[in-house]
Amino acid sequence: MLGKILKQFASPSALARAGVLSMNRRNRDFIMKYNLRRYYPMVDDKLRTKTLAEQFGVPVAPLIGAIRCQYEVKQFENMIRNRSGGFVIKPGHGSGGRGILVIRRHSGNSFEKNDGTLLDRVQIHRVITDILSGLYSLGGQVDYALLEECIDFSDVFRNYSYQGIPDVRVIVFRGYPVMAMIRLATKQSDGRANLHQGAVGIGLSLRNGVPRMAVQFNQPVSRHPDTGVPLRDLRVPFWKEHLELAARCADMIQLGYFGADIVLDRKRGPLLLELNARPGLAIQIANHAGLAARLERIEQLDPASHPTPEERVAFAREQFA
């Protein structure tokens, strides 16, 4: 009985040998040490991230507009009236994919959600009102709603995701990409790309973006649970561009340790979706590799050894296959 329970746990020393980064160490040795609190708004405020990205030439999904006050809520129709494509409403300070509404198509008073359900104008108003009242923002502070163009996601991922858009998460440390995975939405994750909600995470080799292994709820899987396609065959085009985009983000925000979420648009190529100052640790399971060893390797480097994003990406692809 006791042995059975103990078998479900790894020994701390074995985890340490595998170079697994613990939550406590991530917080103390990396986030607290390399991410100064005053730079957080750059990533927590999506509008600021977007503006910065445009300044630094990092491609992002085009902005439609922002709604800051309750009386502006009804203006959202003016914003989207002349747009035929889909759009996304998201909270400016949201996290974990909360409060994001993806409208695929719209005509008149009918808005088709990502999962096919139809919403009317009043329901959209309610979503925006909720965002403004701070329902999805950290600490519940007053928020604004962001409208941006829907990403026209690339056909290469067609059967790899249920409703949501697959996104590539790259952990960047001191400007070097150190680990990457692609997250696929499932029925269980309700179309969202969060691993703890049941999305599938596929660890990607930094060298070429080839899948290493896939997990759902920390358990290995080989096929997408909803579409049944073998995950091994997934390929991420423009892999080098993905990594260089992530590495370039380090120049635009002053954070030493962050996660960059990148989506692939059919026409525009890799786009920065958002940045995260506290990226999760599940990426280690998806990669079957520990982060600690890689982070320590970067820590030992002379900060001036690879000045450009391209050099840092080349180094990382060489080191962390």
Partner 1 sequence: MLRVFAPDRRIVLLVSALVLIALSILYFKVHVLKFTLLPSPETELWLLECRVKFETPGGPVRASISMPEEVPGYFLTGVSTTPGFRFDSEERDGRLIANWSGTADGGTHTILYQMRLIPDRHAGRIADPIEPVRKPVWSDGITAAAAEAFLKQLDPGGRAKPEVLIPRVLKELHNRNLPSVRTLLPENRQGAHFVRIAGKLLAMRGIPSRLVEGIYLVDGRRRQMLSAQLEAFYGNRIHRFDPLTGKLRTADGFLPLRNGDTSLLEIQGVRNPKFHISVLKTSVTAANLNQLRGSLVRHSWILDLSGFNLPLEEQNLFKQIAMLPLAILVIVIIRNLIGLQTMGTFMPVLISLAFLDTGLTAGIISFVLIISIGLLIRSCLTKLNLLMVPRISAVVILVILLMKIMSVIAYTFGFTHGQAVTYFPLIILAWTIERSSMIWEEDGPRVAVRQLLVSLLACLPCYLLMSNATLQCFFFSFPEMNLIVLALILLIGVYTGYRLTELKRFRPLVLPCSEKF
* Binding footprint of partner 1 on the chain (CB under 8 A): 8-18, 20, 22-25, 28-29, 98, 126, 129-130, 133-135, 140, 197, 211-215, 218-222, 231-232, 281, 284-285, 288-290
Min dist. Cβ of residue 20 to partner 1 (A): 5
Q: Indicate the residue among 29 and 72 with the shorter CB distance to partner 1.
A: 29
Compute, in degrees rounded to 10, the torsion defined by CA atoms 281, 282, 288, 294: -20
Min dist. Cβ of residue 94 to partner 1 (A): 12
Q: Indicate the residue among 289 and 316 with the shorter CB distance to partner 1.
A: 289
Q: Indicate the residue among 1 and 304 with the shorter CB distance to partner 1.
A: 1
| Alpha carbons within 13 A on the beta-carbon side of 268 | 19
Min dist. Cβ of residue 261 to partner 1 (A): 19
What is the 3-state secondary structure of 168-192?
EEEEEECCEEEEEEEEECCCCCCCC
Min dist. Cβ of residue 208 to partner 1 (A): 16
Q: Indicate the residue among 59 and 96 with the shorter CB distance to partner 1.
A: 96
Please give the biggest Cα pair distance in the chain: 66
Min dist. Cβ of residue 233 to partner 1 (A): 11
Min dist. Cβ of residue 11 to partner 1 (A): 7
Compute, in degrees rounded to 10, the torsion defined by CA atoms 310, 314, 315, 317: 130
Q: Indicate the residue among 11 and 117 with the shorter CB distance to partner 1.
A: 11
Q: Indicate the residue among 195 and 255 with the shorter CB distance to partner 1.
A: 195
